[in-house]
Amino acid sequence: MAEGIKSVGVIGGGQMGSGIAQLAAVAGIDVWLLDLDSNALTSATKSITNSVQRFVSKGQLSQEVATNAIKRLRCTSNLEDLRSADVIIEAIVESEDVKKKLFSELDRIAKPSAILASNTSSISITRIASATSRPHQVIGMHFMNPPPIMKLVEIVRGADTSNETFITIKALSERFAKIVVCSQDYPGFIVNRILMPMINEAFFTLYTGVATKEDIDTGMKLGTNQPMGPLELADFIGLDVCLSIMKVLHVGLGDSKYRPCPLLVQYVDAGRLGRKRGIGVYTYGKQPEVSKSLARL
């Protein structure tokens, strides 16, 4: 059970990985955060420190908890340092080949009892698990962005995921103060199976000249009470991530309704990836802070 988890490894020092590492550290668990890029680890450490201090300033964490959380965080670029981890959570690029290669390495390095979890937002857990000799201990643990704020974790069981693994990861998610929903291992799972076609349709609406980007987003925000319009949300997620998920849906489900909008493809080809690049559907200056309304998403 989650109470027995003393050490967690998180792979990927980006926004998702650093956010997951923060959750584990605040929950009282020792954390190894791994990234091959030392600059990414430096940035992640700074981001986590600033984030926990914001929670302190808002009265949502005590200074003692925040200080202890930072002490529990260790950074590394050596996969061997994850040997003692009870759970290893992968939060790297959304590529099946890359993830399978990593999980094969983790299977070799991790202790026999370790659970291997993927933060994938759309890729088959069953196929990722096939790269290991422990498919019963592989599971999807899909956090929403940004993990310290968003309340949901989407748990995905592969074909061979054991009940024990599921129960442990569900309890761990709840230890992180998250609400859990459970999905079968189908392309896109629950959230992105519904969300990404909406975003894709917003691109088609813009592509065919139905309305301006501003009116599309305003219409959806005020007409359906969403905190962000679909095009603004796509920029926040990353247009490359949106396109990758749409491709998974299109190939995995074989339905033309999941065909990526040509405008989305064009933007990604042009490097217009959203807020992280300073330009996507909209143009940004300094990378903006996460809006308060996003916490309600």
Domain with 260 in it: what CATH number? 1.10.1040.10
Residue 297 domain flag = no
Catalytic annotation, pick one of 7, 121, 124, 173: 121
- Look at residues 121, 178, 181, 186 and name the one whose alpha carbon lies nearest to residue 155: 181
Catalytic annotation, pick one of 90, 118, 154, 232: 154
Domain shared by 90 and 106, yes or no: yes
Element (H, E) at 152: strand 152-157
Q: CB within 8 A of 234, min separation 6: which ones?
A: 199, 202, 203, 242, 264, 274, 280, 281
Q: Is 192 assigned a catalytic role?
A: yes
The binding site for CoA comprises 51, 58, 121
**Per-residue pLDDT in tens (0 to 9) along the chain, 297 residues:** 566 899 999 999 999 999 999 999 999 999 999 999 999 999 999 999 999 999 999 999 999 999 999 999 999 999 999 999 999 999 999 899 999 999 999 999 999 999 999 999 999 999 999 999 999 999 999 999 999 999 999 999 999 999 999 999 999 999 999 999 999 999 999 999 999 999 999 999 999 999 999 999 999 999 999 999 999 999 999 999 999 999 999 999 999 999 999 999 999 999 999 999 999 999 998 544 443 333 322
Distances (CA, A) of 90 to 10, 54, 80, 276, 287: 6, 26, 15, 20, 25
Domain shared by 70 and 170, yes or no: yes
Q: Is 121 assigned a catalytic role?
A: yes
53: tokens are 């201090």
Domain shared by 94 and 209, yes or no: no
Domain shared by 109 and 125, yes or no: yes
Whether 181 and 152 have beta carbons less than 8 Å apart is answered as yes
Residue 286 domain flag = no
Catalytic annotation, pick one of 118, 119, 122, 192: 192
Say if residue 288 is preceded by a cis peptide, omega within 30 of 0: no
Domain shared by 45 and 94, yes or no: yes
Residue 293 domain flag = no
Domain shared by 209 and 132, yes or no: no
Domain shared by 139 and 43, yes or no: yes
Pairing between β-strand 138-143 and β-strand 152-157 as defined by DSSP bridges:
antiparallel
Q: Is 68 assigned a catalytic role?
A: no
The binding site for NAD(+) comprises 12-17, 35, 94, 99, 121, 145, 276
Catalytic annotation, pick one of 142, 173, 200, 232: 142
Q: Is 225 assigned a catalytic role?
A: no
- Look at residues 268, 256, 253, 288 and name the one whose alpha carbon lies nearest to residue 203: 268
Whether 220 and 233 have beta carbons less than 8 Å apart is answered as no
Strands of the sheet containing 138-143, edge to edge, are 73-76, 30-34, 7-11, 87-90, 115-118, 138-143, 152-157, 179-183
Residue 23 domain flag = yes
- Amino acid of residue 239: L
Domain shared by 217 and 163, yes or no: no
Total of domains in the chain? 2
Domain shared by 141 and 256, yes or no: no
Last residue of a domain, one of 184, 207, 242: 184
Domain of 219 in residue numbering reads as 192-277
Residue 112 domain flag = yes
